Amino acid sequence: MTAEKVVSSRTRHAILGGLAHEAASGYEIRKFLSETTSHFWKEGYGQIYPTLERLVEEKLIEVASREAGGRERVRYRILPAGSVELRTWIRSPRFQLKSGRNELLLKLFFARRDDAAALLPQIQEYRVSMQKTAGIYSAFDLDADEIPDDSRSLIATTIDYSKAAARMQIEWCERTLDLLASLAKAD
Amino acid sequence: MTAEKVVSSRTRHAILGGLAHEAASGYEIRKFLSETTSHFWKEGYGQIYPTLERLVEEKLIEVASREAGGRERVRYRILPAGSVELRTWIRSPRFQLKSGRNELLLKLFFARRDDAAALLPQIQEYRVSMQKTAGIYSAFDLDADEIPDDSRSLIATTIDYSKAAARMQIEWCERTLDLLASLAKAD
DNA sequence: TTTAAATATATCAAAAGAATACATTGACAC
DNA sequence: GTGTCAATGTATTCTTTTGATATATTTAAA
């Protein structure tokens, strides 16, 4: 009774995508993802390492090199079957959206007028952090050499998204700050 | 050695907020949240039921009524200490943002030109679902009786946010559809 | 009036995320 | 040179969150 565990996780595809780019260790994959997709996709080690082992078992990737001695480092490389799986996923008409969590909006939802003064600086902080984010994406250099020409314009759409999201949030902050200021003034 | 488990979870505040509105069971709390805050905050049963027990232990809420017989239904009510905790949280200058996951953007990030044709209908579907969402928020009635006047304009800011987010995503879909169409045409 | 569908309640396993542990390298002060 | 500290690289473990499923009850339908 070796019941196969069903893996519905999308982590496998994020990893395959990363390895399609180049062979890497779990640590490097996470670094790559957090530098490129973190605005809409993040992975943690706790997810990456077990999934790598799983992908090896499934023969979608293989160990490319293994350095021992105290700290060990295992690099993985994608196999042809892995590339097929990646492309199948990209083209299959199923995808999942999971909205994030915004604690500040939750506070606003439960707040009363007399909380307005305390909320004001929190929204200012939010705006600052969004402005920082917007700056990062504006400075993003799509002409960088490592990006294959073939996918450049597709990647551009994800950056477009992040920029638009940041801008939208900044504008919301501004509208909301105005409102809170008027509430706070009217005590 | 009864080491107190530290609860850093924000679920407690979502629950306290819900109960501040009116006494309710775990099921009802979840229903309330999913009808009102689901665009920026969701809770599942797996989180709600254990947290309710915890909050009772901490004397922030209490059991208001308990119906037995086969299926049991326990309603909880917020205590003064719970209200204080809720307000303290709203005013404290700490909040956490957790960006969601967008599998479609992940696909676009890893895609190549020749995937464009397969991605096109996926983005169309995305646009439709966003249009539906936008419709819901536009129709939202803030003048409904149950909403206390005191927090009406604060709640309005969260709806403003959701509307703006939906609009932004629809516009992104339109830009992206144009691009993909041109890529797909050029084979 | 039995059956089917919708609603209400709760549990549990899987996935995701956060915190931590430990190893190596490099830079700098002495 | 050498001891100390910080930065980086690697991985594990634990907690929180999510999702699927089980079970009971009520309502609607046939």
Cross-chain Cβ contact B86/A118 below 8 Å: no
Give the model's confidence band at B4: pLDDT under 50 very low, under 70 low, under 90 confident, else very high: very low
pLDDT at B11 over 60: yes
Cβ neighbour number for residue A108 with a 10 Å cutoff: 26
Confidence of residue A148 (pLDDT cuts 50, 70, 90): low
Other beta carbons within 10 Å of A29 = 26
Across A57-66, B99-108, B135-144, the highest mean pLDDT is recorded for: B99-108
pLDDT at B1: 28
Percentage of chain A exceeding pLDDT 90:
58
Mean pLDDT, rounded, for A88-115? 92
Q: Residue B10: closest CA among chain A residues belongs to which residue? A: A103
Q: What is the mean pLDDT of residues B42-56?
A: 90
Question: Which one has a higher pLDDT value, A96 or B186?
Answer: A96
Confidence (pLDDT) at A19: 93
DSSP string, B129-173: HHHHHHHHHHH--TT-TTS-GGGHHHHHHHHHHHHHHHHHHHHHH
Task: Count CA atoms within 13 Å of residue B32 on its CB side.
Answer: 21
Average of per-residue pLDDT across B43-68: 87
For chain A residues 123-182, those near strand D by a CB cutoff of 7 A are none
Reported as a pLDDT band with limits 50, 70 and 90, residue A145 is low
Q: Rounded to an integer, what is the distance from CA B169 to the centroid of its chain? A: 18
Q: Kindly tell me if the per-residue pLDDT of A141 is higher than 80.
A: no
| Cβ pair A41, B105 in contact under 8 A | yes
User: In the prediction, which pLDDT does B150 show?
Assistant: 75
Cα–Cα distance between A111 and B12 in angstroms, integer? 15
Q: What is the CA B25 to C1' C3 distance in angstroms? A: 30
- Res. B3 pLDDT band, cuts 50 70 90: very low
Rounded to whole angstroms, the distance from the CA of residue B53 to the C1' of nucleotide C16 is 24
| Percentage with pLDDT > 90 across chain B | 54
pLDDT-derived band at A159 (thresholds 50, 70, 90) equals: very high
Considering only residues B28 and A187, tell me which one the structure prediction assigns the higher pLDDT: B28
Q: What is the pLDDT of residue B6?
A: 43
Nearest Cα neighbor of B102 from A95, A14, A19 is A95
User: Looking at residues A97-107, what average pLDDT do you find?
Assistant: 92
Instruction: Tell me what pLDDT residue A72 has.
Output: 74
Inform me whether the C-beta atom of residue A2 falls under 8 Å from chain B C-beta atoms. Answer: no
CATH number of A11-91: 1.10.10.10
Q: Where are the domains of chain A?
A: 11-91, 103-185
Give the pLDDT mean for B109-129.
Answer: 94
For A52-61, A97-106, A124-133, B137-146, which range has the lowest pLDDT when averaged over its residues? B137-146
Please provide the average confidence, as pLDDT, over all residues in chain B.
86
pLDDT over 90 at B9, yes or no: no
Between CA B50 and C1' C6 the distance (Å) reads: 26
The pLDDT score that the predictor gives to residue A3 is 30
Strands A73-78 and A24-25: antiparallel
Q: For chain A, what is the total number of helices (H) and then of strands (E)?
A: 7, 5
pLDDT tens column, B68-84: 655 677 889 999 999 99
The string of pLDDT tens digits covering residues A168-184 is 999 999 999 999 999 87
Side chain identity, residue B127 = R
Whether pLDDT at A6 is above 90: no
| B172 contacts in chain A (CB < 8 Å) | 157, 160-161, 164
Per-residue flag: A71 CB under 7 A of strand D: yes
Quote the pLDDT of residue B65.
Answer: 82
Token reading at B176 = 């992206």
